[in-house]
Amino acid sequence: MDLDLDWLLNTDYSQPWNFLIIFSILLVGIFLRYLILAWLYHELIYKKLGNSKPYRRLHEQIKLPQVKREIWYSFLGAIIFSIMGTVLLICWQRGFTQLYTALTAWDLIWIPMSFFLALFIHETYYYWLHRWMHRTKVLRHFHHIHHNSLYTSSFTSFSFHPIEAFLQAIFLPVLVLFLPLHFSVLLGLLVTMSITAVINHAGVEVYASSSLQSPLARWMVGATHHDMHHLKYRCNYGLYFTFWDVWMRTEDAGFEKRFLAHTSKKKS
């Protein structure tokens, strides 16, 4: 069955008042999604899991002034993402994108294939963007805002300078100009981005120690992997996966040892 989005696409969002309305709706939705997801993960995973299994915590709970700063920059980032979301919607209306809603038999293959292809492209874009952002002048100019959070929490997940937020927000609108994606895949990518960002910044490791032996899980970025990036700056640049770090030899040599220390209960 096709996905009917005529109710969404029949309004001309290039008109100033309509633009403002859809922008405001997106802003409220994006910012509330961030607040709720970050708060729930912190309360249920960092606190409850951390209390029951203290060895899984990577560091102590961060202070309130840091959380307030992260929420402020996340709000600024939400403004950028909302603008880009509205622009994407207008481009879709004008027929500039490869987004579609009609389903065919081919989509049984293409929907999962396009999802993982988009993740690979995003991983590649972000890895090299991230390395560029660690050039001294670029880091000092705007990426330092994210790295001001030396010890991270789930609230750090969306805390970026507006320039960095733009460089991240522009990815999907540009991608759908060239890559055919079903609307459900777009939604799946947005959910994946939100959840993985929170997991990687939450300051508590949720993956099992056996992940290192898994042919799939071994290549996933988790809290330990990304926490080492915040502590050391010059390693572990990956977003979802570790393969670019492995291929380019930028994965920290002590990652596996620290991962095992935070996923294996010490024998008394």
Q: Which has the closest alpha carbon to 176: 111, 100, 82, 94?
A: 100
Q: Which has the closest alpha carbon to 143: 246, 236, 230, 33?
A: 230
Is the per-residue pLDDT at 7 higher than 60? Answer: yes
The average confidence (pLDDT) of the chain is: 95
Is the per-residue pLDDT at 268 higher than 50? Answer: no
Backbone angles phi and psi of 253, in degrees to 5: -65, -25
User: If pLDDT is split at 50, 70 and 90, which confidence band does 267 have?
Assistant: low
In a domain, 121, yes or no: yes
In a domain, 179, yes or no: yes
Report the number of distinct structural domains present in the chain. Answer: 1
For residue 223, give every residue at least 6 positions away whose Cβ sits within 8 Å of its Cβ, in sequence order, or none: 58, 199, 200, 201, 202, 203, 204, 205, 206
In a domain, 20, yes or no: yes
In a domain, 65, yes or no: yes
In a domain, 76, yes or no: yes
Structural contact between residues 164 and 145, judged by C-beta atoms closer than 8 angstroms: yes
In a domain, 170, yes or no: yes
pLDDT of residue 81: 98
In a domain, 77, yes or no: yes
DSSP 101-166: ----TTHHHHHHHHHHHHHHHHHHHHHHHHHHHTSHHHIIIIIHHHHT-SS--GGGGG---HHHHH
User: If pLDDT is split at 50, 70 and 90, which confidence band does 265 have?
Assistant: confident
In a domain, 128, yes or no: yes
Q: Which has the closest alpha carbon to 193: 129, 112, 123?
A: 123
Domain assignment of residue 44, given as a range: 6-206
The model's pLDDT over 157-200, given as tens digits with 9 standing for 90+, comes to: 999 999 999 999 999 999 999 999 999 999 999 999 999 999 99
The pTM of the whole model exceeds 0.85: yes
